[in-house]
Amino acid sequence: MHSLARRALHACEVPADLASVTFRNRETEHPDRVGVSEHAVESVWRSVEGLYRTGVHPGIQLSLRFGGEQVLHGAIGHTRGNGPRDPSALPRLPMTTDTPICYFSASKAVTALLIHMLAEKGLVNLMDPVSYYCPEFRKNGKRTITVHQILSHRGGIPAIPRETPIDVLWERDEIWRLLCDARPVEVDGAKVAYHAITGGFVLQRILEKVTGDSIENFLDRYLRIPMGMKWFTYGIAPEHLHELATNYATGPTPVFPLSWIVNRALGGDIRTVEKVTNDPRFQEAVIPAGNLCGTAEEMSRFFQMLLNGGVWNGQRICSELTVRRAIQQFGSLQVDRTMMIPMRFSAGMMLGGNPVGLWGQQSRYAFGHVGLINKLCWADPARDISVSLLNTGFPIVGHHLPALARFVYTVCRQFPVLPENKRRLVAA
């Protein structure tokens, strides 16, 4: 890409020789164990390279499992030092498969499962009003808003109040006060409006109220430690901040009306989001809807556990019924009032569709979550795959979109729907 085009598109520098910035963890790739051809694996990796060549993602990680085995595990680019506005003198740190990256909104899938695990333990009824557990939430007409509505983005509080200082995000008591004082746009749960940040704080407060413990400790005890995760924490410890990948606002600057949608969903323009998400206060905070940090392999492992019916390495993490409840569609396909696009949600997951959906062609049974539009983390039981594509750029629109779509298309094409799985899912 010419330097002038790169500056206009806010893109990073892409070397001609991609091998010089590629890290493939071959020791953890086992396609031969599940009969996956080298052609299928390399086709998917070439689509990742195509996405990297657009220059909007300084670093990319991918973990793809089929039949329970990891068949592709790689990284390309840099953790930091090759952003569009990084000075040339800044050292370039290579991206590896061990580099922690912020999942952003893909965190919601994990937080949602924690709440479903609370229900499994009998500590929460998802159909109860939030105010049953947190009476202070009932202010200004929110008395009847249920836990399930919050999980499925029908809670009526899709955004924090305008003009709220950004640093409120890492002030637990202040953000809770604002949410309790907020007036809902609706309370009957009839309309979908994506809760980008707010829902996570509500779910955190419920969990901590009924368990008497922090959400971080609950995650550690019931998910992260049993599954052997190194990272997979809300925020990251101060001593590991230097290992966390840097986030970059790349691609053309959004203009109206897209800029209005971005501001409405994220609470600020894209440059502000870049600044905030690279702020150590954000990186060390606990923001259950938006700052879980880990690797692509760890998120792929999480979704594989769900595909396994709640089991990982022979250990039961949650019941199969809990998984089913977490991925069951709630409501019909609707235009989301925040993102202004048609969406299908469960109580915590973004769902696929037929003939084509968020997770590719013929993805009716797929479930997962995106993170800042570009991070794609999902599982498809009809294909028996779990996929986690992480990246460090967050372009909203731009020339990268065909390459991103091509990646999803390639995964679905190389790992087609298995007839026996489809029959089983239809019967269920």
Q: Domains plus CATH for the chain?
A: 3-109+223-427 (3.40.710.10)
DSSP summary character for residue 21: G
Q: What are the Cα distances from residue 339, in Å, to 177, 203, 247, 260, 353?
A: 26, 21, 22, 10, 18
Would you state the pLDDT for residue 422? 86
pTM, 2 dp: 0.95
Contact status, residue 100 vs residue 177, Cβ threshold 8 Å: no
Would you state the pLDDT for residue 399? 86
Q: To which residue do tokens 């008395």 refer?
A: 143
- What are the backbone angles phi and psi of residue 77, rounded to the nearest 5°? 100, -150
10-residue mean pLDDT profile of the chain (428 residues): values are 66 93 97 97 98 96 98 98 91 97 98 98 98 97 97 93 82 94 90 92 98 98 98 97 95 65 63 89 95 98 98 97 96 82 94 96 97 95 98 87 96 96 83
SS3 for 137? helix
> Pairing mode, if any, of strands 350-351 and 367-371?
antiparallel
Q: What are the Cα distances from residue 297, in Å, to 13, 18, 377, 390?
A: 26, 22, 10, 10
Q: To which residue do tokens 């019941």 refer?
A: 319
What letter represents residue 255's amino acid? V
- What are the backbone angles phi and psi of residue 56, rounded to the nearest 5°? -90, -10
Would you state the pLDDT for residue 262? 60
Q: What are the Cα distances from residue 258, in Å, to 197, 264, 272, 341?
A: 19, 10, 15, 12
Beta bridge partners of 293: 102, 233
Give the Cα separation of 148 and 112 in Å (integer).
Answer: 10
Give the Cα separation of 368 and 383 in Å (integer).
Answer: 14
Beta bridge partners of 315: 312
Give the Cα separation of 115 and 36 in Å (integer).
Answer: 36
Phi-psi region of 373 (alpha: psi -120 to 50; beta: other; left: phi over 0): left
Contact status, residue 417 vs residue 382, Cβ threshold 8 Å: yes
Contact status, residue 182 vs residue 161, Cβ threshold 8 Å: yes
Burial 360-391 (b: 16+ CB within 10 A, else e): bbbbbbbbbbbbbbbbbbbbbbbbbbbbbbbb
Q: What are the Cα distances from residue 130, in Å, to 46, 147, 150, 168, 215?
A: 47, 5, 9, 22, 17
CB neighbour list of residue 351: distance below 8 Å, 6 or more residues apart: 327, 329, 344, 345, 357, 358, 366, 367
Angle among Cα 264, 126, 182 to the nearest 5 degrees reads 35
